[in-house]
Every structure is written in C-alpha cells, then in structure tokens.
C-alpha cells in the first residue's frame, strides 16, 4: 500500500462535536466520516481495521463449529408480530413496500434464523451453531460518541439450536469461551457480567463489558471474588433490620407541605429506611403501585424483568389523583385493593413503617407491610449502590463505568414455539428446540479498541487489528538514495509477509511523523539521509515509543521480532 494512492484524510484539529476519544481519533485519523447522526461511512483505513476484527471473530466462531450465513436485513413485519416483538421494540425502523406490505429493518435476527431452522427435521441434526455478519438498524433516540452508539452497524450475531437445556448450557459455555478468546485477541479487557435479557426473552444472559469512562453502563463488581453484574441486574446483601412491634393499626400523621422522603425524615424524625416509597406506574395501560424502601431507588429494567411488561411509563398527576385521591408526596398502598401492587424484597416483613395516606399532606405511621398492604408481586426492584455487600462474599461492591462489547443469551423456546419449529425426538415425538443468541457489534469493537489503545498523539492499534503492521517513511522524496532504500525495505517487508504501508508522499517529515502517530500503526521505519549515510534506519515502536537505529540489512528481521513480541 502506498500512502500517496490511498484516501487517508487526516485532520489536524479535534472535531468540535466529538466527545469520546475513539470518535475524535477515528475522525482525525481518516478512518470514518459521519453522514448524519448515528450513520458513518467507513473509509479505507477503517475498512482494514474492520476486516481484521471480522477475521478474528470469524476464526473463533469457526473454531467452535459455527457455520456462516447471510440473511436479509429487511423483514416482513408479520414474523416479528408472531413473536410479540413488533410492538415491544420501539427502536425498530418500519416501512411499507410498494404493495403496501408492512416491512421492518432488522434490529437483530432471532426471528429470521428461526424461520430457517424450521427445515431442521431430527434431533440428530442438533446442536447447530449458525452465525452471520450483517447490518442492523436501530432508531436510537440519542446516537452519540461516534461508533459507540449508532443507528446502523454490523453485528456478528450467532444462534444455537439444541434439543434440551443441558445442550443449551454447553452451547452457551462454548460461545462464552469463544468470546473470551475474541476479546483477548482484539486487545479489549473484558469483564463478564450478569445482565438483563430485556426484550430477548429467556432466563439468563451475560454481558462482556470493557471498563471505560466513555461507557453508558454501570457494572457492580466485587474486588474479592468474581461477581460482576450490570446495574440493571446487580443485587447486594442488605443488613438485617430490627423493627419495633409498631402499632395495632396505622396512625394518621399530619405532614403539611411534605413532598419528599428527605423532608419527612428531617422534619418528623422518620428515617428514610423506615419509609415506604410509593411510585405510580402505568403498565400495559393499568395503574400499578410500585413500592420500595425510602432510601432505595427503582431500577427500571428490574421492574420490566419482574413483570414482563414492556409498556411502562410514570402516571400523570391527574391520573394519580383520580385513582388515589392525592398527589405524589402523600401516596401509599395501605388499604388499596383495586390496583396491582409490586413491592421490593427489602420491604418484606417490615413493621412500624411510614407511608403516604393518599390524602394530601397526611402520612401514616406504624404500618405493618404484611398486615396493611396487599402486595401482589414481590421482586428485586432496587438499584444497588457502591459499598453494599457482595451477594456472594460480602465484600463492598464497586461501581465502574463500562462499554458493552458483547452479549450472550439463553433464549429458551420463545422463538421456536412462536414460529412453530419442531424436530423429531429419539422416540418419534415432536420436540421444540431450545435456542441461544450471541452478539458482538463489529464497529463498536473497533471504537472500544480505540478507546483502550490511544495516547495524546493518536491511536495505538494492537498489531492484530492495525490498518497496517508497519509504515515506512520516506523522509526526503527528493533524495534518490533515501527513496531507493525505502522502496527496497518496503518490498522486502512485503515479500516477508508483513502488512506494510509506505508513506511516499512529497511532504515534510513532521507531517509524516504526525500522521504515523495519529493513525496508530504499530511499527514505524523512518528512512532519512543522516541515518542512511551510516547504513541504518530508525525503527520506532508506536506503543512504547522506543527508538532504535537498525542496519538496513537487519530491518526485516528486527521488524519481524517486534511484531512477534507484540502478539502478531
């Protein structure tokens, strides 16, 4: 490759709207360009990095026996309607074809792979591991941070089909091991964290999370054991609470102007952990009371997971007053029998508590949850906070910001049941296969590598995914000896199987040095008049910054040794 023939539009200044380091450096290095919010063009250097990421993922998927497919990215809406996800997924792009048929752009491909699985006939054909690299479309409300949150991207999505739960466990473990190898080869540090299944269905999932301040997720981790969970799923042990016996019945307490947990605690001596927080949510069109301890916060995804309801919003004040007779700040579930009540486990068995009386400016004390409130559903609803005890070992939990880089799910039989997939079992009876789903965003992986591997001068690509392994700089395009030596080194490196780029532009050395650092190519060979007069060139490792003068006839061997040490 010759720099003079490539389209590498590097930028000297940081783009004004680039917040994440990866966004800023991929734009400045000429890897990507934005078309509109959430949609990016991949330029030649970006394509080379992307292709190497795909090669690594493909190799590890093939190693576990997965077979590559390519399925359409436009789907008939009817298939998604049959699984119930047409209405449940609000980021889906929807359109009609010229005949007026309802179509969607795929946010993922569980439904479509399951239609292919309908051709499986016998248990003898299972297990099956199928995967693809295909474009996904998601109408994100706030695409941001370059390739980290977009509306159009490439996903490696794979799916397993097994006869039973034991088979799914093996398939899930095989994919987990493959993902651990993939991220290690990509140079991405990964934490494996318990996660919510969301609209995917099923019972278990794991996220692969890369610690980063650019991340939008919080992960609870234990420094003493291997516990890790997304905040949407994390739990923590709570210290036991000793309650007083309380009153024989709730007592009225006038609380004029009180609207918050804090005000009730400071003004009336009722500590937050002795209060019941009452939230009113509209869930699938029905008003529902959600109860937590006063000092706890609702984790929204936990409410979704506990109830299976995806259409949830806070109730409006007029809806609340019509149903309960009061406004927020004075709400409670005591005596409420005509609305569903969902309560957090931390309230189970609690006595001598305080809560709103459903009369403005009035609260109740001496509340016994089991006696006075009709809880229909108990669930883990609260959001864990830093320092709470690990549920496994009791050590204080830490919360770290992270980027999701992969997600694997045990889907169960949701899709195969909805789409009527069966195979004949050993006894000739019809058996519904059980599924797993496994995803990695390719361009997000590229951005995460950039987040992890950069410095003040630019990108520092790991050799496995770099757009080139070596760049040869011709520091004087007008010096025939320099040009001849650089071309000879370039040719020798190519002959040795090194992925090499020669910067043969008629530019100042400073420009070439800055571009080499900005684009992050692992090894730089600088050919200049002064060193060449001594029969040497300068070889620089981008990661360490170490510089060495190397005899011209030893350059290829020296470069090969550097690449091998870097994990080539």
Residue 219 CB neighbours (<10 A) = 27
Return the C-alpha torsion angle 35, 38, 39, 44, nearest 10. 90
| Residue ranges for the chain with pLDDT beneath 50 | none
Residue boundaries of the structural domains of the chain: 21-190+407-451, 251-379, 468-565
Q: How far is CA 58 from the centre of its chain?
A: 20
CATH number of 21-190+407-451: 3.30.930.10
What local confidence, expressed as pLDDT, does residue 71 receive?
A: 98
What local confidence, expressed as pLDDT, does residue 19 receive?
A: 87
**Best CATH choice for the domain 468-565 from the list 2.40.160.10, 3.40.1410.10, 3.50.50.60, 3.40.50.800:** 3.40.50.800
pTM above 0.85, yes or no: yes
DSSP per position, 138-191: ---SS-BTGGGB-SEEEEEEEEEEESSHHHHHHHHHHHHHHHHHHHHHHT---E
Residues 113, 128 contacting (CB under 8 angstroms): no
pLDDT in tens, 20-71: 999 999 999 999 999 999 999 999 999 999 999 999 999 999 999 999 999 9
Q: Is residue 556 helix, strand or coil?
A: helix
Sheet of 547-551, strand order: 500-503, 470-474, 523-527, 536-541, 547-551
Q: Is residue 360 helix, strand or coil?
A: coil
What local confidence, expressed as pLDDT, does residue 201 receive?
A: 62
Q: How far is CA 380 from the centre of its chain?
A: 23
Cα distances (Å, whole numbers) of residue 331 to 89, 351, 383: 32, 18, 21
CA atoms of 355 and 180, how far apart (whole Å) = 48
CA atoms of 278 and 252, how far apart (whole Å) = 17
**Superfamily of the domain at 251-379:** YbaK/aminoacyl-tRNA synthetase-associated domain (3.90.960.10)
Residues 559, 499 contacting (CB under 8 angstroms): no
Take residue 48 and report the two structure tokens written for it: 């080379």
Residues 274, 327 contacting (CB under 8 angstroms): no
What local confidence, expressed as pLDDT, does residue 202 receive?
A: 63
What local confidence, expressed as pLDDT, does residue 200 receive?
A: 66
């Amino acid at each position: 490759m010759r720099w003079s023939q490539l389209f590498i539009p590097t930028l000297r200044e940081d783009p004004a709207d680039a917040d994440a380091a990866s966004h800023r450096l991929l734009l400045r290095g000429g890897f990507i360009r934005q078309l509109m919010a959430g949609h990016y063009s991949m330029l030649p250097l970006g394509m080379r990095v992307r292709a190497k990421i795909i090669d690594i993922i493909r190799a590890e998927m093939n190693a576990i026996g997965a077979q590559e497919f390519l399925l359409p990215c436009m789907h008939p809406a009817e298939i998604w309607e049959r699984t119930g996800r047409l209405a449940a997924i609000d980021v889906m792009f929807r359109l009609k074809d010229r005949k007026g048929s309802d179509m969607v752009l795929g946010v993922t491909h569980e439904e479509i792979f399951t239609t292919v699985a309908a051709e499986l006939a016998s248990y003898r054909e299972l297990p099956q591991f199928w995967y693809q690299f295909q474009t996904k479309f998601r109408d994100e409300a706030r695409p941001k941070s370059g390739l980290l949150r977009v509306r159009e991207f490439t996903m490696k999505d794979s799916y397993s089909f097994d006869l039973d739960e034991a088979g799914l466990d093996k398939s899930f473990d095989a994919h987990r091991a493959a993902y651990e190898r993939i991220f290690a080869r990509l140079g991405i540090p990964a934490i494996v964290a318990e996660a919510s299944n969301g609209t995917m269905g099923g019972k278990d999932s794991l996220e692969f999370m890369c610690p980063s301040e650019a991340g939008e997720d919080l992960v609870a981790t234990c420094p003493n054991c291997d516990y890790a969970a997304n905040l949407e799923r994390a739990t923590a042990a709570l210290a036991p609470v000793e309650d007083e016996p309380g009153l024989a019945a709730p007592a009225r307490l006038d609380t004029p102007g009180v609207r918050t947990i804090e005000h009730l605690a400071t003004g009336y001596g009722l500590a937050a952990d002795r209060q019941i927080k009452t939230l009113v949510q509209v869930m699938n069109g029905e008003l529902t009371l959600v109860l937590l301890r006063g000092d706890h916060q609702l984790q929204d995804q936990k409410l979704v997971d506990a109830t299976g309801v995806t259409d949830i919003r806070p109730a409006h004040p007029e809806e609340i007053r019509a149903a309960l007779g009061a406004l927020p700040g004075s709400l409670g579930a005591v005596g409420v029998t005509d609305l569903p009540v969902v309560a957090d486990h931390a309230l189970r068995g609690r006595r001598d508590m305080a809560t709103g009386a459903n009369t403005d400016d009035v609260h109740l004390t001496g509340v016994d949850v089991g006696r006075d409130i009709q809880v229909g559903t108990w669930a883990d609803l609260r959001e864990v906070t830093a320092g709470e005890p690990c549920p496994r070992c009791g050590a204080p939990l830490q919360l770290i910001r992270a980027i999701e880089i992969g997600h694997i799910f045990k889907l169960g039989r949701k899709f195969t049941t909805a789409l009527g997939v069966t195979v004949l079992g050993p006894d000739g009876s019809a058996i519904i296969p059980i599924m797993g789903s496994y995803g990695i965003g390719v361009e997000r992986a590229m951005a995460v590598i950039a987040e992890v591997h950069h410095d003040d001068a630019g990108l520092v690509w790991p050799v496995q995914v770099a757009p080139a392994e070596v760049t040869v700089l011709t520091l004087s395009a007008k010096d025939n000896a320099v040009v001849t030596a650089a071309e000879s080194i370039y040719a020798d490196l190519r002959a040795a199987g090194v992925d090499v780029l020669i910067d043969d532009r008629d530019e100042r050395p400073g420009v070439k040095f800055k571009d080499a650092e900005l684009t992050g190519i692992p090894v730089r060979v600088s050919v200049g008049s002064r060193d060449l007069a001594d029969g040497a060139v300068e070889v620089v490792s981008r990661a360490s910054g170490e510089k060495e003068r190397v005899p011209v006839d030893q350059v290829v061997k020296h470069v090969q040794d550097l690449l091998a040490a870097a994990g080539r």
